[in-house]
Amino acid sequence: MHDEIRDFMLYIASEKGLAQNTLESYERDVNAFAAFLADKGVTAWDSASREHLIAFLSHLQDQGYASSSICRTFIALKVLFRFLKRESSIQENITIHLSTPKLWQLMPEYLTQDEMDRLLQQPDAATPTGCRDLAVLEVLYACGLRVSELCGLKLYDVTDDYVKVKGKGGKERLVPIGRKAIKALDDYLTTFRGETGDDKNPPLFVTQKGKTLNRVSVWKMIKHRAQHAGITKNISPHTLRHSFATHLLDHGADLRVIQEMLGHASIQSTDRYTHVSQTHLKEAFDAFHPRRILTLSAE
């Protein structure tokens, strides 16, 4: 199977003109599926079934992967199986009757306001680790950051009003930050952060050993805090990003403004939040729909 993956990577690198980050993502995706198949005793691509593919995508969802990551993985596998069929390495393309998910039609998992409050109450701010974890949660929720963006923050990327974020493709954006998040950061910096050494702009979030906090540590922390908060949803750092966008929309924020804060290149990526923001839609209907107004006036 590894020989076919090598040939596949050479093919898409030379003929598809994909960006290096996309090539690396595709390689991780197909290797992950190959490892998943190996665990099931499947050692040849021609022995993989549609059920294996669906089980793998479900496994990613159970692991807390974002909908966008699962969709990208599915696309990578569709391209892989088209390649394998063209090269006569398989008899059947198991992806051919499965449609590509449309991201803006997926319902992102998000926390209610009550669940979000319970999660933020979990860390004990009187302890150094609890103080740091609260700052991480507050910044993720206040700014709608991707976990990679959070881990990439430097000490001087944060002001009293904004966070300078380096997003996908190296694009920078400024995101407003609320007072509660700033307070949590101030407490963390005075309680936990300690000395910064000779680095003129060191990482903002670090471990107890002074190493940069990584995405796996953040993922595990959020899982742990959510469990103790009694939250049964399968959440991840991306859930806080979804909650940020959904709650903004619920309270009347413009979709284009949310798009800018999330760093979405396309409004379609942001538009999917209208499918989960039922409160906002109901309020808009009650306020503006002519049939609703006529019914009220008739009463």
pLDDT on residue 290: 53
Q: Show the domains of the chain with their CATH numbers.
A: 2-101 (1.10.150.130), 113-284 (1.10.443.10)
pLDDT on residue 62: 64
From first to last of the 299 residues of the chain, give the pLDDT tens digit. 788 888 888 888 887 667 788 888 889 999 999 999 998 888 889 888 888 888 888 778 767 777 778 888 888 898 899 989 888 888 888 887 766 544 334 446 788 889 999 999 999 999 999 999 999 999 999 999 999 999 999 999 999 899 999 887 788 899 999 999 999 999 999 887 766 556 678 899 998 888 899 999 999 999 999 999 999 887 888 889 888 988 888 888 888 888 888 887 777 667 666 655 555 555 555 555 555 444 433 33
Residue among 130, 129, 144 nearest 66 (CA):
144
Report helix angle 215-228 to 128-143, nearest 10. Answer: 100
Report the amino acid identity of residue 292: R
Report the amino acid identity of residue 39: D
Sign of CA dihedral 71, 152, 167, 131: positive
Catalytic annotation, residues? 146, 168, 238, 241, 264, 273
**Do 255 and 270 contact (CB within 8 A), yes or no?**
yes
- List Cβ neighbours of 167 (8 Å cut-off, separation of 6 or more): 146, 149, 173, 263
| Alpha-carbon gap, residue 139 to 180, rounded angstroms | 9
Residue among 97, 56, 94 nearest 73 (CA):
56
For residue range 176-204, list pLDDT tens digits in order.
999 999 999 999 998 877 665 566 788 99
pLDDT on residue 102: 42
**Do 21 and 170 contact (CB within 8 A), yes or no?**
no
CB burial of residue 226 (10 Å; 0-12, 13-18, 19+): buried
pLDDT on residue 16: 66
CA 226 vs CA 50, 88, 121, 229, 283: distances in Å: 33, 47, 10, 5, 30
The helix/strand/coil state of 286 is: helix
pLDDT on residue 197: 58
